[in-house]
Structure 1
């Protein structure tokens, strides 16, 4: 009988349990290796606490309540130290923290791992409520590019300064490629998907409704408002606008393609205007292209006489002296020193 008892004792584990969070002194116990941590926790748990609020830690590693002493890695015959600690809800590992910097980052991370389970509504809301560059929530001042993408101006300017613009936004090269927009705040933003709305119809700025940005004044209005109130002036500031001044925000693939075509066309026109302006400034009539009334290409300059200083000599002055004020009219073989022009070599 004594032998069987000794054998049974050898198969049991001798462990120590402590809980500094509950101010429980360290206790030494002899338990069966199949004893679960949940049962062990109940032996120490105060009546006013739920079992889920505490967990066991062994060797700095948290243990699941369903595991046994053997499956937790406690070696047979060793004196293991288990620590009972409070579980801090929301600190990680419980679903309260994703590790993502923003909602947009979380969606991108989830889309890579489980693309078939991405909620299209979340993608839509993120596109309309966050900066297309940084993924942070839209905060005024907000700008839109010529393709209808929304940006926080600070994030966009910082990326331009440090030359960290992604290839998809390569068309944005400076402030001239941005349009400052005015987003109307949503009074019921606390109970809404977005904190912006149409100032005329009250439609939420969340992607369910189409919105235009007016390039002239920067006000953002819903397409419904512009259809119902047919006017050629902004409904907020009453500034006149053309049909080409209406810029669709976060449009479809076809609408973005049309905006890109219009952007390239306008940039081409602007380039042509600059080239024509430069040609006027450096045209063939410029005085530097003339040589004694004859242009460099061998043609006459239309009878325009080239001005010379000696043509307007003041009274009591010789042409040679007057011309020497503007040009070196008299050539000399004498060489000047490097230190002073008034002491040329060979004169003293």
Structure 2
């Protein structure tokens, strides 16, 4: 499905028209055009770049994967790279989104269809009274959706960290399972941090270095997005520290449990050594008190039991057993 929209003087006039008609509208000052491309080819990008006058370096960045979130400024347009969040079998798989911003056109280029652009359209339709601000309004709705996705994910990661904290002292949870969950969480956290921290620079650049491209009435809304970006970045850093502390605590627990096991083994070995020593001694082929007499046997047995019970009591009081 072709995703295109035409706003004229802040009113949605047409949608779903061919991308080839875009050039007929971008030259009209009262029109604002948006269209979306999903995994386009080199030929598609070249034709769009020729119609909108896009810089060759910006088009090249679209085709090169794993770009850092950024804002590149050119004479006739801005090029922005951000990432939406997507999970694939429990692993974070960010979706790269490239954005071209001209005076009256917004072009979104998605890496794949895992980024739900329809949700962005729904957000635009929820506040149609702001469509009069043109591209500034469309760009805000898009960035707001991306940052809200980051915020939802960091909340979910926080819940996972709390679950790990509770499971850390659960004796029924196997150590291998805990290590696996901690590793997966840390891996997702590192990847998530790479796409969220640069967002501060992205939004700040739009607000501070490109004030002429953002309508003054929209500035508070961009400030709200920036506040959310800061919260996500700070929250992500704190969660990364918590995950590191959880890992260190788990290793310390393993060392503590190993010490407990070694104390128990040593205690039982000491208890077993007493009867071994006594029976071994009386087994020597030499005369001993009570040798060959029934009372000698009972005396050795009594000494064996008494010393074993005494050692058990001592170790129990020390908490080694």
State the TM-score bracket (shorter-chain normalisation).
under 0.3
Higher Cα radius of gyration:
1
Greater RCO (Cα-Cα under 8 Å, separation 6 or more): 2
Please give the TM-score of this superposition, normalised by the length of structure 2. 0.26
